[in-house]
Amino acid sequence: MSPSDCLFCRIARGEIPADLVHEGERLIAFRDISPQAPFHVLVIPREHIQSLGDAEVGHGALLGEALLLAAEIAAREGVAEEGYRTVVNTGKDGGQTVHHLHVHILGGRSLGWPPG
Ligand code: AMP
Ligand code: ZN
């Protein structure tokens, strides 16, 4: 999947609408179109990285920023006090369906463990 026809690259470029909760230079965040919890937001890098497995050492700061942004958004949106979960699905068995690295933030209800 090239960046030209990647769904999340297209959202990052503003070609496809999304319910954005953050627009930064390197990262954006938007509400998941099919929420699995009362609060479900995705944090993505603007750069097209297919999956966590494709991230390189040079992406370390960007990945750290994505996690810190997730925490900031969770706090701002009022789910941090009760708690939330950050998830990076990777590959087929990990349940990854969009091949552009993204961090799910899920909250607003008690989440089961282990995940299905
Ligand atoms: P994953 O299964 O981990 O690859 O997660 C992909 C997520 O993207 C799923 O939770 C989808 O509901 C979500 N998604 C797919 N298309 C859109 C879209 N156009 N806007 C917002 N979220 C989307
Ligand atoms: Zn992409």
* For residue 45, cis peptide bond before it (omega within 30 degrees of 0): no
Residue 2: pLDDT band with limits 50, 70, 90: confident
Mapping DSSP to helix (H, G, I), strand (E, B) and coil, where does residue 67 land?
A: helix
pTM of the model: 0.98
User: Is 40 designated active site?
Assistant: no
Name the closest-CA residue to atom 15, ligand 1.
33
How far is 4 from 16, CA to CA, in rounded Å? 12
4 vs 56, more confident: 56
Distance 33 CA to ligand 1 centre (A): 6
The owner of tokens 């552009």 is: 100
pLDDT digits (tens, 9 = 90+) for 75-97: 999 999 999 999 999 999 999 99
Which ligand sits nearest to residue 115's alpha carbon? 1
| Residue pLDDT, tens place only, 14-24 | 999 999 999 99
